[in-house]
Amino acid sequence: METLQVGLGERSYPIKIGCGVINQIPRELKTHYQATKYCIVADDNVASLYGHALVDAIRLAGLDCELMIFHHGEESKTLETIADLASQAAQHGLDRKSIFIALGGGVTGDITGFLAACYLRGVPFIQIPTSLLAQVDSSVGGKTGVDIPEGKNLVGAFYQPQAVFIDTDVLQTLPSEEYLNGLAEVIKYGVIRDRNFFDYLHDNRKQILALDQQHVSSMIYHCCRIKAEVVAADEKESNLRRILNYGHTIGHAVEAASDFEIPHGFAVSIGMVAVAKISMNQALLPSDENQKQFDLLKEYGLPTEIPDNLARIKIKQYLLTDKKIVGGKITFVLPAQIGEVVFSDQVSEQEIDSVLTVE
């Protein structure tokens, strides 16, 4: 098991990565994360795969543990779900020395983290991400929240976990589309921060797509290392951390406009292609660098175009409610070359329209 540290002073926490990590959770809790009660939060899919078994294992270790289940999917990421789970937590007798455990993908992590931030004005929580997307991105960094009709993640809080446990074995039960969904975020790290990692993803594509354990573990480790460095330098997204939004501004709008039928990672892939085109048209990104990103996304089987049947006006409406808008301007993360990005609020409406147009 490899360990990284997210350096945030007194609120620093470890990211532990390896095969079979989930089997070590009871011992880790008993040794390092003592609580009056543990409460696992999982969607109905993950609960059947891992939730009930983990509850039993934790109880077998002599610890008090409950399981709270919600319906899977982005549509459950609402204030109503938070209210329902908070009521259940109160009925189970959770107090300020209890610990919530997010067991699942990004939706579960967002919900559990926000619940932990709100319940009794803040109780600890732990992340056990079971999707690739959550393992390489959303489980690290403390972004929590829910959606409202006006947009994605518009209500939330920065609230850091006590620890992140990443078991690479659980990816074997992940549907192939969900695995691809996470690979968009993986490629993002290479584009924004690490050209060598981008090249690694290119050179080892076959092994990564085949879920080769060594290559997958290395891939996750590099993503978490980059995320940890960025979060430690800029926890609340005042400057550097904004690079992690690469592809997300347009991606979130595409995702929401599709009523979340387009998965998050696929939408981010589309968004990365769109902003790279903007950057190239502004003479920031050389055309050959743009082509390298495009080719890698295609090689991994990720989408690169907005579906023809998705209303462009609806995408623009969601863009205008993006939570990162300041003073009426959208700040885009634009690639300058593979491994380097810049911020710009000088993207015109015409430039946005040009990348939304069906060719």
Q: Which one of the listed residues 237, 299, 340, 351 is annotated catalytic?
A: 237
Q: Which one of the listed residues 16, 152, 225, 227 is annotated catalytic?
A: 227
Task: Write the burial class of residue 182 (CB in 10 Å: 0-12 exposed, 13-18 middle, 19+ buried).
Answer: buried
71 is an active site residue:
no
Q: Which one of the listed residues 66, 185, 255, 289 is annotated catalytic?
A: 185
Judge whether 116 and 103 are in contact, CB under 8 Å.
Answer: no
- Give the tokens for residue 254: 């595409």
241 is an active site residue:
yes
Neighbours of 116 (CB within 10 A): 27
Neighbours of 156 (CB within 10 A): 17
- Give the tokens for residue 100: 């919530």
Q: Which one of the listed residues 245, 289, 290, 292 is annotated catalytic?
A: 245
261 is an active site residue:
no
Nearest of 357, 341, 334, 349 to residue 282 by alpha carbon: 334
Q: Which one of the listed residues 143, 215, 225, 242 is annotated catalytic?
A: 143
User: Residue 185 and residue 178: Cα distance in Å, rounded?
Assistant: 12
The neighbouring-strand residues paired with 348 are: none
CA 7 from centre of chain: 19
59 is an active site residue:
no
Pairing of strands 38-43, 65-70: parallel
252 is an active site residue:
yes
188 is an active site residue:
no
Q: Which one of the listed residues 248, 255, 289, 290 is annotated catalytic?
A: 248
Residue linked to tokens 């981010």: 268
Question: CB-based contacts of 13: which residues, under 8 Å, 6+ apart?
Answer: 5, 6, 160, 161, 162, 163, 164
Q: Which one of the listed residues 153, 264, 289, 292 is annotated catalytic?
A: 264
The neighbouring-strand residues paired with 38 are: 65, 99
SS3 for 150? coil
Pairing of strands 13-18, 2-6: antiparallel
312 is an active site residue:
no
248 is an active site residue:
yes
Q: Which one of the listed residues 193, 241, 242, 292 is annotated catalytic?
A: 241
Judge whether 7 and 228 are in contact, CB under 8 Å.
Answer: yes
Neighbours of 191 (CB within 10 A): 27
- Give the tokens for residue 319: 């863009």
Q: Which one of the listed residues 242, 252, 289, 290 is annotated catalytic?
A: 252
Q: Which one of the listed residues 10, 121, 309, 359 is annotated catalytic?
A: 121
Which residue numbers are catalytic?
121, 143, 185, 227, 237, 241, 245, 248, 252, 264
